[in-house]
Amino acid sequence: MSSLGRVLEGALGIFFPAWCPICAKPSDRLDTSPICGACWANMSRLPANVCQICAKPLEVEGISKCGNCYAEKPFYSTIRAYTKFSDVMKEAIHLFKFSGVRRLARPIAELFKEVEIPEADLIVPVPLTKKRLTERGFNQSLLIAKTLSDFTKIPLSYDTLLKVKETPHQTTLKGTQRINSLKNAFASTVSVKGKRIAVVDDVMTTGATLNECARALIKAGAHSVFGIVAARTVLE
C-alpha cells in the first residue's frame, strides 16, 4: 500500500466505524459507511407491480390501483418509493435518523438517480415541528431533499410547508388514530398557486403524513403534489 493509501486508511478508520453492521465485514465505502459497498449495492427495490398512486405492492396482475386508492383517492397524485422499509435501507435509516449518521442522506437520495421522477416545480421536505427539530438537531427529510434538489435541479424550499401541531410518534398509533392526529398538523405559509410539488420523506408507513402534507399544499393552491420516499412499509 502506498503511503497515501495508509494515511487514507488511517483517516477513514478514525472517522467512521470499521465494520459493516449488516455483514460484519470491513467498511469499504466512505459515503455509505458504516454500511459496506457490497451490502449497499444489494439494496432491494420495490416489486415492479405497485399501486400507481400509493406504491403499495399489488398481488394481482393487470390492475393499477390498490383497494384503498380505489375507495378514496389521496390528495397526492403518486408516490415514488425506492424500496421496502427493511434490510439494508432500514439499517441505513436507523443510523441516519437515530444515530445521527447524517452523511447517509446523500447516498440514500442518490438512489433516486435510477428512478423516473415526475416533473415538479418545487421540492419540499416533510417538516418537523420546532420542538422535534430541536430534539433531533436536524430534519432527515430536508437532508434527503437537498441532495435530490442538487441532482434534479428542481428548486428546494424548506419553509413552504410547516408542521404547526405536535403529533404523537406515528408508530405508536393505529390507522384512524394516525389520520386524526395529523388533522391540521401541516400548513403552507406561502402561495404555491399552480405549482407541481414533490414532497420528500424518509419513510412512508400508511401514507397519512404525506396525504396531510398534500392536502395543505393543494389547499394553498398547488396544482399537484406527489411524494418521494426512500422506503415504504410493506406488510408481509
Residue choice 50, 54, 108, 122 for contact with Zn ion (CB under 5 A): 54
- For residue 77, the minimal CB distance to Zn ion (Å) is 12
Cα distance between residue 174 and residue 179, in whole Å: 9
Span from 6-14, 37-45, 97-105, 108-116 in contact with Zn ion (CB under 5 A)? 37-45
- Give the shortest CB-51-to-Zn ion separation in angstroms: 3
What does R_g of the chain's alpha carbons equal in angstroms?
Answer: 19
User: Please, which residue, 36 or 199, has the CB nearer to Zn ion?
Assistant: 36
Is 225 a binding residue for Zn ion by CB under 5 A? The answer is no
Q: Any contact of residue 128 with Zn ion (CB under 5 A)?
A: no
Least Å from the CB of residue 213 to Zn ion: 17
Beta bridge partners of 200: 125, 228
Question: Could you say which of 43, 50, 51, 101 contacts Zn ion (CB under 5 A)?
Answer: 51
Q: Would you count residue 22 as binding Zn ion (CB under 5 A)?
A: yes
Max intra-chain CA distance, the chain: 64
Residue with cell 393487470: 62
- Residue 192's Cβ-count burial label (10 Å; 0-12, 13-18, 19+) is buried
Q: Which is nearer to Zn ion, 54 or 148 (CB)?
A: 54
| CB of residue 182 to Zn ion, shortest distance in Å | 18
Of 50, 53, 93, 213, which one interacts with Zn ion (CB under 5 A)?
53
Query: 119 CB contacts (<8 Å, ≥6 apart)?
Result: 196
Question: Under rule CB under 5 A, which residues in 61-120 are in contact with Zn ion?
Answer: 66, 69
The region of 7-15, 18-26, 102-110, 129-137 touching Zn ion under the rule CB under 5 A is: 18-26
Among 12, 18, 23, 117, binds Zn ion (CB under 5 A): 23
**Sign (positive/negative) of CA torsion 125, 104, 178, 134?**
negative
234 binds Zn ion (CB under 5 A): no
The contact set with Zn ion (CB under 5 A) reads: 20, 22-23, 36, 39, 51, 53-54, 56, 66, 69
